[in-house]
């Protein structure tokens, strides 16, 4: 799989409090692929270092490895110590939440979202100049947060489509009910869930009839129609000039790059690369990274998640070990069953749905006065 690991922690809600740590990745069909779970007393330097030390036994340190996380200081310290070669990226969703709390202004917030996800350096510089003009304090905050960690265009390694820790948050949502169970029962529920997931994904991978995964094929089909509208001018054996209504890009099919940089970062042919490949009679499948091939997907789920062998005796050192409950400070009031929603989520819930446009002639929806059938 692509070498991007998303890590996050979520609280337990049962009798014995604690924190569930999760490390996950994404398979070549854009499905969540859990890697490791850990239960600790609380999020601090010592426990996060322990978690990454265990993770290091499965995923070794690598210069091509990327870690996506929130801005918890303990996570950053532990990664620096256990994974010194890996690149760290922060979740842009958490960054946006912090900005909403500290700074006001919808226009500046919109610019930050675009700057975080843009593919080209020139576009990023233009957006940052606009942010500086709108809100000098916000601009300084973004610079202090280190653009290499939150902006896609400055990230030093391959980040692909990962801009948030959404896959970890999705796992937290799936496990929201079982997080109130006792520890052993919780772990068994997680194991059972993984067994079902792996069996389902394994069957789905085996019956795929395409060379690339269905998720990537869907991306490509959505871009094919747009590629047909572009004009292609050959430059040499590998280079082609792609011209649209108001754009001009150069594609290098040998190096698998495009000046729009979507092809470079996502490793999936952009609309310009598809147009160049069609003109040169090159298969679009060959342009996608091998990570997105069906064979990689079947290899990812080749292993099985087995239940505990009840016939296997428990080691004496484990059976005799006394495991004490964690030391936690119980907050006042009734325990909450769900997490506190951010300002962004509350604002989205209060946002009015867009009013459906109606024809001024007949009063019906789906068309306007110029195209009215009556």
Per-residue tokens: 23: 């490390």
**Weakest mean pLDDT among 77-86, 286-295, 359-368:** 359-368
Beta bridge partners of 68: 6, 89
What pLDDT score does 219 carry?
87
Reported confidence tier of residue 171, pLDDT bands at 50, 70, 90: confident
Reported confidence tier of residue 195, pLDDT bands at 50, 70, 90: very high
Beta bridge partners of 251: 240, 258
What pLDDT score does 129 carry?
93
CB contact at 8 A, 256 and 266: no
DSSP one-letter string for 104-129:
--HHHHHHHHHHHH---HHHHHHHHH
C-beta atoms surrounding 277 within 10 Å? 21
Q: To which residue do tokens 């907050």 refer?
A: 331
CB contact at 8 A, 326 and 41: yes
pLDDT tens for 221-277 read: 989 988 999 999 999 988 999 998 888 999 999 999 999 999 999 999 999 999 999
pLDDT tens for 50-65 read: 999 999 999 999 999 9
pLDDT tens for 127-170 read: 999 988 888 888 888 888 888 888 999 998 888 888 887 888 88
What pLDDT score does 144 carry?
87
CB contact at 8 A, 287 and 271: no
CB contact at 8 A, 26 and 162: yes
Please state, in angstroms and rounded to a whole number, the distance separating the CA atoms of residues 367 and 181. Answer: 53
* Nearest partner of 26 among 218, 167, 194, judged by Cα: 167
Please state, in angstroms and rounded to a whole number, the distance separating the CA atoms of residues 66 and 245. Answer: 37
**pLDDT surpasses 70 at 9:** yes
**Weakest mean pLDDT among 9-18, 257-266, 282-291, 348-357:** 348-357
**Weakest mean pLDDT among 68-82, 188-202, 221-235, 340-354:** 340-354
Please state, in angstroms and rounded to a whole number, the distance separating the CA atoms of residues 198 and 35. Answer: 12
Q: To which residue do tokens 């080209």 refer?
A: 120
Reported confidence tier of residue 332, pLDDT bands at 50, 70, 90: low
**pLDDT surpasses 60 at 31:** yes
**pLDDT surpasses 70 at 347:** no
To the nearest whole percent, how much of the chain has pLDDT over 70?
A: 90
Taken in order of first residue, the domains within the chain and their CATH numbers are 1-91+164-210 (3.30.420.10), 92-159 (no CATH), 214-287 (no CATH)
C-beta atoms surrounding 349 within 10 Å? 8
Please state, in angstroms and rounded to a whole number, the distance separating the CA atoms of residues 202 and 299. Answer: 9
Please state, in angstroms and rounded to a whole number, the distance separating the CA atoms of residues 99 and 107. Answer: 12
CB contact at 8 A, 112 and 131: yes
């Amino acid at each position: 799989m692509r070498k991007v690991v998303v890590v996050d922690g979520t609280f337990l809600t049962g009798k014995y409090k604690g924190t569930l740590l999760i490390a996950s990745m994404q398979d070549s069909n854009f499905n969540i692929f859990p890697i490791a779970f850990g239960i600790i007393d609380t999020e601090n330097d010592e426990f996060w270092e322990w978690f990454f030390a265990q993770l290091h036994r499965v995923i070794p340190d690598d210069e091509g490895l990327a870690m996506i996380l929130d801005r918890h200081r303990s996570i950053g310290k532990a990664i620096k110590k256990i994974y010194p070669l890996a690149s760290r990226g922060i979740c842009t969703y958490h960054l946006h939440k912090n900005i909403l709390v500290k700074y006001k202004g919808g226009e500046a917030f919109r610019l930050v979202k675009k700057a975080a996800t843009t593919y080209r350096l020139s576009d990023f510089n233009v957006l940052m100049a606009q942010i500086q003009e709108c809100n000098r304090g916000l601009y300084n905050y973004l610079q202090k947060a280190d653009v290499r960690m939150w902006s896609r265009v400055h990230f030093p390694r391959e980040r692909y489509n990962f801009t948030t820790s959404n896959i970890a948050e999705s796992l937290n949502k799936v496990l929201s009910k079982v997080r109130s169970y006792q520890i052993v029962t919780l772990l068994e529920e997680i194991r059972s869930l993984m067994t079902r997931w792996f069996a389902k994904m394994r069957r789905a991978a085996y019956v795929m009839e395409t060379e690339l995964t269905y998720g990537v094929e869907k991306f490509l089909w959505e871009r094919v129609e747009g590629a047909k509208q572009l004009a292609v001018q050959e430059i040499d054996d590998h280079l082609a000039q792609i011209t649209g209504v108001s754009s001009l890009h150069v594609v290098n099919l040998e190096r698998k790059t495009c000046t729009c940089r979507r092809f470079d970062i996502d490793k999936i042919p952009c609309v310009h690369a598809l147009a160049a490949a069609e003109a040169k009679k090159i298969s679009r499948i060959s342009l996608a990274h091998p990570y997105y091939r069906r064979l990689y997907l079947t290899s990812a789920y080749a292993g099985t998640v087995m239940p505990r062998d009840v016939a296997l005796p428990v080691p004496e050192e484990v059976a005799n070990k006394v495991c004490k409950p964690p030391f936690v400070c119980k907050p006042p009031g009734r325990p909450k069953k769900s997490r506190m929603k951010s300002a962004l989520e509350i604002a989205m819930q209060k946002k009015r749905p867009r009013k459906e446009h109606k024809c001024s002639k007949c009063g019906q929806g789906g068309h306007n006065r110029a195209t009215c059938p009556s």
